[in-house]
Structure 1
């Protein structure tokens, strides 16, 4: 998958991602420098929510930052949970899907996928 996050850290990251997917119903993605190579400062995990779900969860959201306390608090709390679960410096953020697709064209690796190899 990624050249940046190796085993067994990737196993822990995938397990954390499955928890996020179970809680919110959408697959989180590894993005940023950890998705591209071996040199990274933190592990960027993004959860792109459909626009209507994002807007319901974060009413009046304009831009990422401390100005939206619910967004900031949930991102920080899930980042800390990710750090505790994986041992990695997780930077978790929710994104509105349309914004993410417009503003970010970098690499995205789906996390936490489970394949049924018996089928």
Structure 2
């Protein structure tokens, strides 16, 4: 696993991931250059929602982009929250799972995973 954000930033990034999972019920992923090594411009975090959840959140928008007000606002707000929580330049985007899986086949690291075990 070649994560480029280092410690303690990774701990903060995982805590942010848990907040996102608590809100959406799905874990976000660290992707892009920061998921592969120490040279990166920003830290790409992606939340891939099942198609039906994505479509309910963004009705009528096949491929949200900056012209989609709701998508843009949510992504920008979560990027800013991530920046404040982690100190990292977060680029946060919400994606439809089918589209993300078809178009992006790079490295993905789940953020905020919780380990549970019986005592």
What range is the shorter-chain TM-score in?
over 0.9
Look up the match of 1:65: 65
Q: C-alpha distance in 1, partners of 2:89/2:103?
A: 24
1:6: Cα distance to partner? 0.5
1:1-119 to 2 correspondences below 5 Å: 1-116=1-116
Change (3 A) 1:117 1:38: farther
Q: So what's the TM-score if we normalise by structure 2?
A: 0.94
Give the RMSD, CA atoms, in angstroms: 1.3
Q: Give unmatched runs, 5+ long, in structure 1.
A: none
Change (3 A) 1:6 1:118: farther
Listed one character per residue, the Cα deviations across residues 26-81 of structure 1 (whole Å, up to 9, x for unaligned) are: 01000000000110000000000000000000012132422111000100000000
Listed one character per residue, the Cα deviations across residues 3-43 of structure 1 (whole Å, up to 9, x for unaligned) are: 31101000000000000000000010000000001100000
1:118: Cα distance to partner? 6.1
**Secondary structure in 2 matching 1:12:** helix
Q: Give unmatched runs, 5+ long, in structure 2.
A: none
1:100: Cα distance to partner? 0.3
Corresponding residue pairs, total: 119
Q: C-alpha distance in 1, partners of 2:87/2:63?
A: 29
1:2: Cα distance to partner? 3.8
Q: C-alpha distance in 1, partners of 2:43/2:118?
A: 32
